[in-house]
Chain A
Amino acid sequence: MMGATGLSVVLIIAVIVIMLVVIVIGGKDTISWKFLTTFPKDGMTKGGIFPALYGTALMVIIMSVAAVPFGAITALYLTEYARESSWMAKTVQFAVRTLSMVPSIIFGLFGLGFFIKFVGGGMDKVFFGGQLIWAQPNILWASLTMALLTLPVVIVSVEESIRAVPRDLRDASLALGATKWQTIRKVVLPGARSGILTGTILAISRGAGEVAPILFTGAAYYLATLPHSLSDQFMSLGYHIYIMSTQSVNVDQTLPIQFATTLVLLLLTFTLNFVAVLIRSKLRRSH
């Protein structure tokens, strides 16, 4: 019986290793500086993935700008202001956990129904006289949709780091006559800086890999130009993998590109995750 438990560990780890090895072997020959910095060519059967990389980067930046302050403030509320047993704190915590459980495709639907149709449609009606500018998929709506998805990641991470700030520091600050908000600003937040950073990195890693929420809120099949404004569509790495492997003109011929794109995405998310783990373990050791 002990053997069965050990075997399942071995099996799971073996599958992970196989996946990594297959993707690395399939993609390593195609990846080059040129691959990363050129546009796709010939109906996406040749060339690089630059617009997808650029689009993903732009999206996660806008996403972080939206998600990180919001998430950090929510974490601040949960740790500093809310009494843990109060129903308000419990409801907020339940909402955060629920948010982390909502299927990613639902965020896509929400982005379509709320951001594109409701907010975008409203903006067009009020500011642009019914012109179609914001009521269609674009990078802003996709990023905001993604921000909602990654919000719980930020909250959990920041919350953990704020709780790790020693009580004594706070008490010392308060004893010196600082007010609560001054204490938070000068003592708690600087102490939680690495947690905020970890949360941001984890959120970026999550957001870069998700495809379902941007399927119909802003990701484009192919664009000849980079997105110039917030109302442009964009290409994303994950979506690129999806369409290349399912809807490409010639799936077999483009297989090396698909593997290479997958490898790039994996390297990106794993590097980010690794950095986050490093920062976090450093944080744990320092307290």
Chain B
Amino acid sequence: MNTEETTQPLEENSGQPVKVDGISEQQPARFVFSNDSLKKQMRPSEFFAEKIITGVAFLSIAIIILIFLFVFRETIPIFSGKAETKTEVTAAKQETYGTATDNRNVNQQEVYSGTEPENGVTKQEVYVATSDTTKNTVVSGEAGISSYRETSSEAEGRVTVKGLAGKVWMPVSDNPRYGLLPLVVGTFKITIIAILFAAPLAILAALFSAAFAPRWMREIIKPAIEILAGFPSVVIGFFALIIMATFFQNLFGYETRLNAFVGGVAMALAAIPIIFTVTEDVMTAVPSTYKEASLALGASKWQTAFFVTLPAAAPGIFAAVLLGIGRIFGETMIVLMATGNAALISMNPFDSVRTLSATIGAEMAEVVFGDTHYSVLFLIGTLLFVFTFALNATAEFYVKGKLMTRLQGKV
């Protein structure tokens, strides 16, 4: 860290040659330090070690940037496509596409025509098997394929902003529609349900652990709840799918077995440990003088907990909830397994929903590389990434900026 500081004084003291007492007479040369001999030597191994370590450390920044760039890169066909649609109402670029253009109407029908996967036949097979309707269009575009391959990446995307804001998500059909609205609604529905369960439970539990529980009990509660963080999300999803879904259906008697409610409760299980841990840490960081002052004024233990500890830790709790939301927002396996995955817009918590992340997880494996559908899935990924990044950054700066100044008494 700061080894320079520790070596510095030594160097300064030894401006004059230093003689070691007693033996200096017999062996003068060996024990003399001079300015030269104490000068920091240039050692290649030191130099390279430092540079390599610094370089590797910066890779983590590079990874973040690369993730954004490469996830975003795959969405570019959409945007370039969009630009073309605007200028191209009269089909100005028709000659490039050969017969493929014949299929085009205002909608995105040509998306599948002449779509030749760049990477292998296996994907194509999977895709054809999933929907017979697309097969026809692929066949009809075949004539254009050979001349088409080079320009395919620019040619495929025809998604408008209006189309993306649409209410229907139907990527695999004759007339594919990529309305993200049901997915966004579904994601928010799940997030709200999950956070309504997770936040109060986790915060109250943290309050108990930090304010009321004796030391020995706290040392059991904390690791016990953190066990929950050790459950792989696929295991929570499995439990929700097999056990919870049936349990809740018997309890409430609704129709669809897999729905937003089941998914939300399962997601709450994934979010609880995060919210709990962060909240608990923040609450234990509240200076004990606060509590002592409150107790000295005659407040009871729970009054102190609710009116002193809780408000003092409020920014941290807010950050914890944001982190929890981030976790829920990006969680894939649980929603994929437990929510039924129907892209509906409804306010009923007992309807099936499909979230943004689950859409990527469910459809990416069956999509043709480079297709519009593929690009739209990457667009969803970009949205998710940007959103969680923003949440994380907010939580971080909020905690750093507000909580720390407050707890250090600089309100």
Partners in one complex: yes
| A interface residues, Cβ below 8 angstroms from B | 1-2, 4-9, 11-13, 15-16, 19, 22-23, 70, 73-74, 76-83, 88, 91-92, 94-99, 101-110, 112-114, 117-118, 121, 132, 135-136, 148, 151, 155, 170-171, 174-175, 179-181, 183-184, 205, 208-212, 215-216, 238-239, 241-242, 245-246, 255, 258, 262, 265-266, 269-270, 273, 277
Task: Please indicate which of the listed interface residues A8, A171, A174, A241 has the most CB atoms of chain B within 10 Å of its own CB.
Answer: A8
B365: Cβ under 8 A from any A Cβ: yes
A181 contacts B235, C-beta separation under 8 Å: no
Among the listed stretches B21-29, B62-70, B93-101, B178-186, which one makes contact with chain A, having 4 or more residues with CB under 8 Å of it? B62-70
Of B3, B213, B228, which contacts A174 at CB under 8 A?
A: B3
In the assembled complex, the CB of B174 is this many whole angstroms from the nearest CB of chain A, namely: 25
- Give A117 to B63 CA distance when docked, in angstroms: 16
In the assembled complex, the CB of B315 is this many whole angstroms from the nearest CB of chain A, namely: 17
The 8 lowest CB-CB distance pairs between A and B, nearest first, are: A103-B330, A209-B232, A77-B57, A5-B208, A8-B204, A113-B70, A212-B332, A105-B332
| Residues of chain A lying within 8 A (CB to CB) of residue B170 | none
A2 contacts B302, C-beta separation under 8 Å: yes
A101 contacts B70, C-beta separation under 8 Å: no
B63 contacts A216, C-beta separation under 8 Å: no
> Known: A12-B201, A209-B235. Contact between A113 and B74, CB under 8 A?
yes
Of B60, B71, B228, which contacts A109 at CB under 8 A?
A: B71
Of A8, A9, A95, A174, which contacts B200 at CB under 8 A?
A: A8
| Residues of chain B lying within 8 A (CB to CB) of residue A70 | 56, 59
B242: Cβ under 8 A from any A Cβ: yes
Of A81, A95, A211, which contacts B63 at CB under 8 A?
A: A95
CB 8 Å contact bits of B204-244 with A (1 = contact, 0 = none): 11011101110000000101110110111111111101110
| Residues of chain A lying within 8 A (CB to CB) of residue B236 | 19
B228 contacts A16, C-beta separation under 8 Å: yes
Q: Would you call the interface of chain A mostly helix, strand, loop, or mixed?
A: helix
A102 contacts B53, C-beta separation under 8 Å: no
B294: Cβ under 8 A from any A Cβ: no
| Residues of chain A lying within 8 A (CB to CB) of residue B238 | 241-242, 245, 258, 262
Of B224, B237, B357, B369, which contacts A16 at CB under 8 A?
A: B224
In the assembled complex, the CB of A269 is this many whole angstroms from the nearest CB of chain B, namely: 6
A98 contacts B56, C-beta separation under 8 Å: no
11 sample A-B contacts, Cβ–Cβ < 8 Å, listed by A number: A5-B207, A73-B57, A77-B57, A81-B54, A83-B1, A95-B60, A99-B60, A106-B384, A109-B71, A109-B378, A211-B232
B306: Cβ under 8 A from any A Cβ: yes
Interface residues on B, range: 35 or more
| Residues of chain A lying within 8 A (CB to CB) of residue B369 | 117
In the assembled complex, the CB of A132 is this many whole angstroms from the nearest CB of chain B, namely: 5
| Residues of chain B lying within 8 A (CB to CB) of residue A181 | 43, 45-46, 49-50
Among the listed stretches B131-139, B157-165, B385-393, which one makes contact with chain A, having 4 or more residues with CB under 8 Å of it? B385-393
In the assembled complex, the CB of B226 is this many whole angstroms from the nearest CB of chain A, namely: 9
| Residues of chain B lying within 8 A (CB to CB) of residue A148 | 63, 67
Contacts A73-B56, A242-B333 known; list 9 others, CB within 8 Å: A5-B207, A81-B54, A95-B64, A107-B67, A113-B73, A117-B74, A151-B63, A210-B233, A245-B241
A209 contacts B241, C-beta separation under 8 Å: no
B35: Cβ under 8 A from any A Cβ: no
Of A98, A170, A210, which contacts B392 at CB under 8 A?
A: A98
B368: Cβ under 8 A from any A Cβ: no
| Residues of chain A lying within 8 A (CB to CB) of residue B232 | 208-211, 238, 265-266, 269
Task: Please indicate which of the listed interface residues A76, A103, A121 has the most CB atoms of chain B within 10 Å of its own CB.
Answer: A103
| Residues of chain B lying within 8 A (CB to CB) of residue A80 | 1, 53
B360: Cβ under 8 A from any A Cβ: yes
B205 contacts A105, C-beta separation under 8 Å: no
- Give A96 to B64 CA distance when docked, in angstroms: 9
CB 8 Å contact bits of B300-323 with A (1 = contact, 0 = none): 011001100000000000000001
B253: Cβ under 8 A from any A Cβ: no
Of all chain B residues, the one with the shortest Cβ separation from A2 is B302
In the assembled complex, the CB of B55 is this many whole angstroms from the nearest CB of chain A, namely: 9
In the assembled complex, the CB of B85 is this many whole angstroms from the nearest CB of chain A, namely: 24
B142: Cβ under 8 A from any A Cβ: no
- Give A212 to B385 CA distance when docked, in angstroms: 15
Of all chain B residues, the one with the shortest Cβ separation from A219 is B365
Of B46, B61, B119, B329, which contacts A180 at CB under 8 A?
A: B46
- Give A205 to B227 CA distance when docked, in angstroms: 13
B337: Cβ under 8 A from any A Cβ: yes
In the assembled complex, the CB of B203 is this many whole angstroms from the nearest CB of chain A, namely: 8
B364: Cβ under 8 A from any A Cβ: yes
| Residues of chain B lying within 8 A (CB to CB) of residue A212 | 233, 332-333, 357, 361
B235 contacts A77, C-beta separation under 8 Å: no
| Residues of chain A lying within 8 A (CB to CB) of residue B331 | 103-104
CB 8 Å contact bits of B6-19 with A (1 = contact, 0 = none): 11000000000000
B326: Cβ under 8 A from any A Cβ: yes
